[in-house]
Amino acid sequence: MNVSKKSLTKKAAALVFAIAGLCSSPLFGQSDATLLNMLVENGTLTQQEAADIKKLSSQTPVCKPTDISSIRISAKFQTQYEFIDTDCDDSCAAGNKSPSNSFLIRRMILGFETDNGDNWGVRYSFDYIFANKTSNTYIWHKLENSIVKGEMRLGYLKPDFCIEETTSAFNLYAVERSIATTYWCNPRNQRRLGFGSFKTGAYWYGQSQYVDGLRYSCGVSNSENYKLSYDLVDGDNTPNLWLAASYTFDAFGGKIRFGGNLGWCADANKTALDGSESMWGANPYITFERGGTRAMAEFMASGIDGGNSIGGYRQQYPLGLNVAIEHKFDVDGFGKIAPVFRYTYLDTDGRGVSPNDTLRHCKATSVYTRASGYYFGVNWYLMGNNLKFQAGYEFSQFEGGTLASHSLDANSFRMQMQAMF
């Protein structure tokens, strides 16, 4: 079959304008018309052929370029050494005295965040060490008008409860979170509450248009913690409710923030061996920052309906406390060195807690009613939180239980190096 040069040129021109019609806005611009006229004038196209191409271009569906204006990729890594030793009275089992001594990869997180335009975006975090892999994954939408200003998040994240828990693991005072925080926020079991842990839901984070420094949040989520979706086997989909507010102001040459977090969970801590049906939680707190100094204090309290305890099922009111302080000193050419102190206290009101529940990788499993911990450490900020070394010693004491004199002491030493970009 013979195909003339003019025919090939016409087909090529038609293809060019078809593509232009697909991916341009408006559909057929002034520059396109000028080029068509030039092709007609030099004899490449006839008037009818040019009209056909223009008609084809105007009828072709528009394919707009993606509205994603930016993609942010992040990587975070922590490697750790830990040594944990315990000492208890003769009433505890021999296994409670077994030490733990190991190197480990603590966290390895890859994250993506997109800005899709029109104040919409997506954040996705993947932790290769975390059991469920996904963490802090949600769709976000920023909204600002004469009434509200803030951000809506739909997905899998932590509700506002326990300041130490909602603080990034890469910005903690100590190497690990405290006994009290772990008791309230780590995955639930017969003793731990799992109250402030990851939950799938809808959350709003707002700030006042009329009072500087006033922020608030609210949300509704599933009851099941550390699960991306409803578990048909042993899950409970009764909504949890969350409410928080804080106020930040200048004082003593720095900034003070005080606030409170509230939550109510239906069947939040129900397990096969637990008769609890609902639980509420309250978390008032205060923080202070001035130059290289930061400090925080928070109190946790909950009421558990018919919770499991050493003495049987009954109403329980566990209490907890965290207090921490850090001060950074400049070290010329070597970043900043910061001594750290933290105190934590937990009273389970008879529900019970074991060292294995709240001290990561501690092998002791005897159950006690109260616990406390004193942490002494140092943080070396080589490049801020982007490159940081931490080392700390914590003395923890667990007491109370089936025997009035029942007690256990735990000595924990940890070192951690982190890098992120």
Q: Of the candidates 162, 243, 159, which has an alpha carbon nearest to the alpha carbon of residue 201?
A: 159
55-69 confidence digits (pLDDT tens): 766 665 554 555 677
Regarding whether 266 and 319 lie in a shared domain, the answer is yes
Residue 237, domain member (yes or no): yes
Residue 64, domain member (yes or no): no
Regarding whether 305 and 243 lie in a shared domain, the answer is yes
Regarding whether 167 and 48 lie in a shared domain, the answer is no
CB 144 within 8 A of CB 152: no
Q: Of the candidates 180, 169, 149, which has an alpha carbon nearest to the alpha carbon of residue 343?
A: 180
Domain of 76, in residue numbers:
70-420
Poorest-pLDDT segment among 78-82, 301-305, 328-332, 383-387: 301-305
Per-residue confidence at 231, pLDDT binned at 50, 70, 90?
Answer: low
Residue 65, domain member (yes or no): no
Regarding whether 273 and 127 lie in a shared domain, the answer is yes
CA angle 328, 332, 338 (to 5 degrees): 15
178-219 confidence digits (pLDDT tens): 999 999 998 877 788 888 888 889 999 999 999 999 999 999
Number of residues in the chain: 421
Regarding whether 126 and 34 lie in a shared domain, the answer is no
Residue 406 has a pLDDT of 78
Domain count, the chain: 2
277-324 confidence digits (pLDDT tens): 688 999 999 999 999 999 999 999 999 887 666 556 678 899 999 999
pLDDT higher than threshold 60 for residue 75:
yes
Residue 326 has a pLDDT of 98
Regarding whether 24 and 114 lie in a shared domain, the answer is no
Regarding whether 123 and 48 lie in a shared domain, the answer is no
User: What integer is the mean pLDDT of 400-411?
Assistant: 77
Residue 305, domain member (yes or no): yes
Residue 198, domain member (yes or no): yes
CB 88 within 8 A of CB 355: no
CATH number at residue 181: 2.40.160.10
Q: Which residue has the higher pLDDT, 420 or 10?
A: 420
Poorest-pLDDT segment among 222-226, 239-243, 289-293, 321-325: 222-226
Q: Of the candidates 77, 80, 78, which has an alpha carbon nearest to the alpha carbon of residue 415?
A: 80
Residue 96 has a pLDDT of 66
Residues whose CB is less than 8 angstroms from the CB of residue 408 and which lie 6 or more positions away in sequence, other chains included: 86, 87, 88, 89, 92, 96, 355, 364, 366, 368, 397, 398, 399
Q: Please give the radius of gyration of the chain, using alpha carbons only, rounded to the nearest integer.
A: 30
Q: Considering Cα of 155, then 161, then 165, then 171, what sign does the dihedral take?
A: positive
Regarding whether 130 and 44 lie in a shared domain, the answer is no
Residue 235 has a pLDDT of 52
d(C-alpha 309, C-alpha 272), whole Å: 14
Residue 175, domain member (yes or no): yes
Regarding whether 107 and 222 lie in a shared domain, the answer is yes
Q: How many CB atoms lie within 10 A of CB 20?
A: 18
Token pair for 311: 């003495």
93-150 confidence digits (pLDDT tens): 555 666 789 999 999 999 999 998 889 999 999 888 876 678 889 999 999 988 899 9
Token pair for 218: 């609210």
Largest CA distance in the chain: 104
Regarding whether 29 and 108 lie in a shared domain, the answer is no
Q: Look at residues 18, 37, 59 and tell me which one is the last residue of a structural domain.
A: 59
Q: Of the candidates 370, 387, 377, which has an alpha carbon nearest to the alpha carbon of residue 412?
A: 377
Regarding whether 137 and 18 lie in a shared domain, the answer is no
Residue 15 has a pLDDT of 45
Q: Look at residues 16, 36, 59 and tell me which one is the last residue of a structural domain.
A: 59
Residue 165 has a pLDDT of 96
Residue 99 has a pLDDT of 78
Q: Look at residues 15, 37, 59 and tell me which one is the last residue of a structural domain.
A: 59
pLDDT higher than threshold 60 for residue 345:
yes
Residue 382 has a pLDDT of 97
Residue 190, domain member (yes or no): yes
Name the DSSP class of 45. S
Residue 317, domain member (yes or no): yes
Residue 19 has a pLDDT of 45
Regarding whether 317 and 234 lie in a shared domain, the answer is yes
Q: Which residue has the higher pLDDT, 398 or 275?
A: 398
User: What integer is the mean pLDDT of 168-175?
Assistant: 96
Token pair for 142: 């920023």
5-52 confidence digits (pLDDT tens): 455 445 454 445 544 544 444 445 566 677 667 767 766 667 877 777
**Residue 313, burial from CB neighbour count under 10 angstroms (0-12, 13-18, 19+):** middle
